[in-house]
A and B are shown apart, each in its own frame.
Chain A
Amino acid sequence: MQVALVIGDVVATRKDAALSGLKLLVLQPLDPAGQPVGRTLVAADAAGAGVGEQVFFVRGREAAFPFYPVEAPVDAAIVGIVDHWSAEGAPAPASQA
Chain B
Amino acid sequence: MIVGRVVGPLVATQKHRKFEGATLLLVQPLGEGDMPRGPALLAVDTVGAGVHEKVLLVLDGRAAGDAMQKKAAPVDAAIVGIIDHIDIPS
Q: Which residues of A contact B (CB under 8 A)?
A: 1-3, 29, 31-32, 37-38, 46-48, 56, 58-63, 65-66, 68, 77, 79-91
Pair B39/A86 contact, Cβ less than 8 Å: no
Bound: A58/B24 CA distance, A: 13
Pair B74/A91 contact, Cβ less than 8 Å: no
Pair A48/B10 contact, Cβ less than 8 Å: no
Please judge, given known A-B contacts A3-B42, A58-B74, A65-B73, whether A91 and B36 are in contact too, CB under 8 Å. yes
**Chain A nearest CB: distance from B83 CB in Å?**
14
Using A32-B7, A86-B51 as known contacts, list a sample of 10 further A-B pairs with CB atoms less than 8 Å apart, ordered by residue number in A: A1-B76, A3-B26, A29-B39, A31-B40, A48-B14, A58-B74, A62-B73, A65-B74, A80-B15, A86-B9
A to B contact number (C-beta, < 8 Å): 114
Pair A37/B26 contact, Cβ less than 8 Å: no
Please judge, given known A-B contacts A2-B39, A62-B74, whether A81 and B7 are in contact too, CB under 8 Å. no
Which of B1-60 touch A at CB < 8 Å? 5-16, 18-19, 24, 26, 28, 36, 39-43, 51-52
Pair A89/B76 contact, Cβ less than 8 Å: no
**Chain A nearest CB: distance from B23 CB in Å?**
12
Q: How large is the interface on B (under 10, 10 to 19, 20 to 34, 35 or more residues)?
A: 20 to 34
Pair A2/B9 contact, Cβ less than 8 Å: no
Bound: A86/B42 CA distance, A: 12
Pair B41/A1 contact, Cβ less than 8 Å: yes
A1: chain B residues at CB < 8 Å are 24, 41-43, 75-77
